[in-house]
Chain A
Amino acid sequence: MNTLRLASAILLMGSSLGFCGKVVNVYLWGDDIPKKIIHRFERESGVTVHLSSYDSSETMYTKLSASSNNTYDVVMPSGNYVQRMQRRGLLAKMDHRRLPNLKNLDAMFLHTNYDPGNQYSIPLTWGSSGIFYNETQIHHAPTKWTQLWRKAYTRRLLLLDDAREIFSMAMMGLGYSPNDTNPAHIDKAYKQLQKLIPNIKLFANDGLQAMLIDGDANIGVVWNSDAYKAHTENSAIRYIYPKEGFIIWIDNLAITSNAPHVKEAYEFINFMLKPSISAEIGATRGLAITNKRGKALLPPSVRNNITIYPTKKTLKRGHFQQDVGEETNTLYMNYWQALKLQF
């Protein structure tokens, strides 16, 4: 046993010796921040970035909850998760004085309903989920969520693998708000979704672009950023904002409460708030950016693209996704799992 301890001590020392320099551990959603930008940050600040990414907010939440929360410095939760994580004490209160580039943000995002005053989170990108379709295969373009229930779409739908998003679709189809907490309404939405089962082909959160471009799925529900990226390679892919309404989500940068490298974390976030950096994210990822100055730097083809930046009129129909509290969350999740088991 002693030799084992000695060996592990040596290994630990060895692994930490390699990083005498400044370091920041970053845990991001997928590929949202391009590697080029990470490298640029490393060059300009002298801080080494250890990048990890996750494919679902739930996974991120569980991993942070189970570990001692000092593995990562910067995380990228969406709005509804900010509330959940803050309740669990996973996020640190932010000192805005250390983020001078905060002034670049669009005022619309400075007082979000999930984190008034941006105490725990800094909005970076936002987007929506709506209906996509391939116009060479689908001849009657859908305009409403309820049209997805049409018999013509049997076994054709690709749906996001996200409980809240898909339930929101059913809720809005029934005329309720996607942030509704009424159990009776949620039950009705569940019964609606049960009727949709014959139409559903698969649930997926990643690799969506290839599915859309190659025509493995011709109609369904995706995030606008994926639809935009697919459209650039296959112009038959169309994205619409349904008439009954749609969800707007915001992805934020936050610092964990036990972060070992707080100074570097602030540097990282401040860097991402630079207009030129934000513009680069917005130009390549099909994501709408929260940075006012950055948006002005975007190429017109991106800035005026209604898939990424819907018109003000369209935005009026949008609902910002909010946390609905643990009890309702559990209810949604139970229904979601029951739904998935019925195939």
Chain B
Amino acid sequence: MKSKIQRLYLFIIYFLLYFPILILVIFSVNKTKYSLVWHGFSSQWYQVLLNDVEIWSAFFNSAVLGITASCIATGLGLLGCMHLFIHPHKKFRSLRNLLLLLIIIPDIVLGISLLVFFNVTNLPLGFVSLLIAHITFCLPFVILTIESRLQTLDPNLYFCALDLGASQMAALSKIFLPLLWPAILSAALLSFTISFDDVVTSYFVSGSDFSILPLTIYSLVRSGVTPELNALCTITLIISIIPILIVHKLTRKKT
């Protein structure tokens, strides 16, 4: 009985999450342009989408930006977190708190302050300015995610391993990495998601030659969401299922 209720609860949550997505998918094959009523099946919007070079280059750019920012932020955050964990000095704690402060800054304030900063330092707006902004707002999320996991671990494990003769690298990689692996994955995924979808901060620090998807979409939705965008979201959805298959293969290997 208990597990039935649990399964029902899971089902309801996933249903609520995916229902708007379902609508998106259904309307991607709708014949009409603006109306939200069913007019008949049509794959024309996928044709339009395939021919739309702007959207694809924006999509590719966003993906590259997201992966780069996510990798750098996760790597940097991970190293920092581990160092703080093993050597909890007071002054490092202040760094950590300062980094967490970054979450509190509204993204619009971050965007504008970076815009002015780039202006003063004469850094041209483009991929680099976007990358810097994205890493900056991803870092605190990485730290929070990895930390909430690290706090349940015992730092003595590391020192024991050292005592037993392991090198620093071995101690860290063989003991903590396997334990932290889900947290690292979560942090990386979270960073990618935030970066891929960021509208406000990117709006201010993006240049004219590196178009990213959220801003392209933002300008397109102004005239109403055309089914072409729905088609894009459907395709993104299908592509996103690939990591699941990868993870499935990875977890299978372990058992």
Contact = CB atoms under 8 A, between A and B. Distances in A.
B34 A206 contact: no
Interface stretch (A27-35, A175-183, A310-318): A27-35
Contact of B128 (A8, A31, A51, A207): A8
Given A213-B34, A214-B36, A66 B112 contact: yes
B183 to A, nearest CB: 27
B211 interface: yes
B194 to A, nearest CB: 21
A207 B116 contact: no
Size bracket, chain A contacts = 20 to 34
Contacts, number: 76
B106 interface: no
A69 to B, nearest CB: 9
A11 B124 CA distance: 12
Q: Interface on chain A toward B: helix, strand, loop, or mixed SS? A: mixed
Interface string B48-62: 000000100000000
A77 to B, nearest CB: 17
A68 B118 CA distance: 9
B126 A15 contact: yes
Interface in A117-175: none
A12 B131 CA distance: 12
Interface residues of B, number: 32
B178 to A, nearest CB: 30
A32 to B, nearest CB: 10
Report the 5 A-B pairs with minimum CB-CB distance, sorted nearest first.
A25-B208, A206-B222, A53-B219, A50-B208, A31-B223
A72 B208 contact: yes
8 contacts: A12-B128, A50-B209, A63-B115, A66-B119, A71-B125, A72-B208, A210-B224, A233-B34
A31 B220 CA distance: 7
A3 interface: no
Given A35-B54, A66-B115, A66-B116, A206 B221 contact: yes
A67 interface: yes
Given A12-B128, A206-B222, A210-B34, A19 B115 contact: no
Contacts of A25: 208-209
Given A8-B128, A53-B222, A233-B34, 19 more contacts: A23-B209, A25-B208, A25-B209, A30-B222, A31-B220, A50-B208, A52-B206, A54-B219, A55-B218, A55-B219, A66-B112, A66-B116, A68-B119, A206-B223, A207-B223, A207-B224, A210-B34, A210-B36, A213-B34
A209 interface: yes
Contacts of B127: 11, 15
A207 B36 CA distance: 13
Given A66-B119, A233-B34, A50 B222 contact: no
